[in-house]
Amino acid sequence: MRILRLLKRCLFEHPEMDSKDTIREHFTRLTGFFRNLNYSHEGGPDFKRYWREIHELNHFPVSEGPQQ
């Protein structure tokens, strides 16, 4: 469930973007991070890395961590 909560948050609380190209780039990167997160073993180093990347891309505090 926490992955779905994170996805919802990314869709509704994303940073302000000023152009269509910026929006496209942001959501393309976000899609890739979520795809890789989904393929990663939960709690493993790759999972933690993609979790952090998603938070950093959206300017969310990383301290929320995947363990919550």
Q: 2-31, pLDDT tens digit by residue?
A: 999 999 999 999 889 999 999 999 999 999
* Residue 23, phi then psi, degrees to nearest 5: -65, -45
pLDDT confidence band for 65 (50 / 70 / 90) = low
pLDDT of 68 over the 60 cut: no
Structural domain contains residue 35: yes
Judge whether 17 lies within some domain.
Answer: no
24-55: per-residue pLDDT in tens? 999 999 999 999 999 999 989 999 999 999 99
Residue 48 domain boundaries: 31-60
Q: Which two tokens stand for residue 28?
A: 């393309």
Cα 48 to Cα 12, 22, 43, 51, distances in angstroms: 22, 25, 6, 5
Count of domains observed in the chain = 1
